[in-house]
Amino acid sequence: MDFRFDMNAVEAVMLAGVRIVAFLVIAPPFSYKAIPGNVKAMLAVGLAIAVGPRVIPGYQAQTTGDFFVSLVLEVVAGAILGFLVWLVFAAIQSAGSAIDLFGGFQMAQAYDPQSMINGAQFTRLFQMTSLVLMFTSGGYQLVIGGLLRTFDAIPIGVGMDLSNPAALIVKATTQMFLATLQIAGPLIVVLFLADAGLGLLTRVAPALNAFQLGYPLKIMITLGLAGMVFVALPQVVSQLSQQAVTVLMGAR
């Protein structure tokens, strides 16, 4: 029996695996610390083998120096692609942080080492909910599908044109702030009007000291209206998943 060891195929799969690992370390939902590292490693190996028929044809074995340069290029490409996806889904975390700030919950913020988030109750709640929804709704499959398609747009060992990812990062950041306002904007406006009303009431009746009532009033408003924002999160996560795939396909 004749066994042949194709070095071209091994190098191509290794380079693809390096890009996938760099992507999984940064991009949600796979970057969550509660997912064991060995699970991420096995997922990266499985995806690299699955994408092998796409990256092996046409690949030529490189010298040792060129191969290490290609490894660095794949790490950079995977990190940039993961950061683009992280920017898209950061809108949900930013919306929760804005609600915490205007609702008076920001003083109870704490650091979550698993999700690496420093925020209060709604920040962590929105982040955890978005991660759960990505797995239950199949959004993670869209993200993985977008990652695998990048091997057609950015062949292994070639590297990325950094001018295009820079423009995508600026665009994704703008869309993140826009999505944050769309998610938390209505509740922020209500809380702002509550603050303005308390300020006017203090001017009319200074002895009432209306700002002492401000904290329980704003907490009541936040808890009462945040449920409306929470109900809309499944649709928001679905739209953000589609947007993340669009961003990945736009990278060259």
> What local confidence, expressed as pLDDT, does residue 252 receive?
62
Q: Which domain holds residue 209?
A: 7-250
Averaged pLDDT, 207-214: 68
Q: Give yes or no for residue 3 having a pLDDT over 60.
A: no
Query: Is residue 196 assigned to a domain?
Result: yes
Q: Give yes or no for residue 190 having a pLDDT over 50.
A: yes
Q: Give yes or no for residue 114 having a pLDDT over 70.
A: no
Averaged pLDDT, 151-166: 73
**How much is the pTM?**
0.79
Gap between the Cα atoms of 82 and 165, Å rounded: 11
Query: Is residue 52 assigned to a domain?
Result: yes
Q: Which of 79, 84, 89, 116 is CA-nearest to residue 29?
A: 89
Q: What is the overall mean pLDDT for the chain?
A: 78
Q: Which of 13, 165, 174, 173 is CA-nearest to residue 79?
A: 165
* CB-count burial class (<10 Å; 0-12, 13-18, 19+) for 108: exposed
> What local confidence, expressed as pLDDT, does residue 52 receive?
83
Q: Give yes or no for residue 188 having a pLDDT over 50.
A: yes
> What local confidence, expressed as pLDDT, does residue 145 receive?
85
Of residues 239 and 212, more confidence is placed in 239
Query: Is residue 1 assigned to a domain?
Result: no
**pLDDT per residue over 25-51, tens digit each?**
888 888 887 778 888 888 888 888 888
Query: Is residue 2 assigned to a domain?
Result: no
Q: Give yes or no for residue 147 having a pLDDT over 60.
A: yes
Q: Give yes or no for residue 109 having a pLDDT over 80.
A: no
Of residues 162 and 86, more confidence is placed in 86
Q: Give yes or no for residue 1 having a pLDDT over 50.
A: no
Provide the residue type at 75 as one letter: V
Q: Give yes or no for residue 220 having a pLDDT over 50.
A: yes
User: Number of folded domains in the chain?
Assistant: 1
Q: Give yes or no for residue 160 having a pLDDT over 60.
A: yes
**Which distant-in-sequence residues (6+ apart) come within 8 Å of 190 by Cβ?**
221, 225
Q: Which of 92, 80, 75 is CA-nearest to residue 134?
A: 92
> What local confidence, expressed as pLDDT, does residue 2 receive?
52
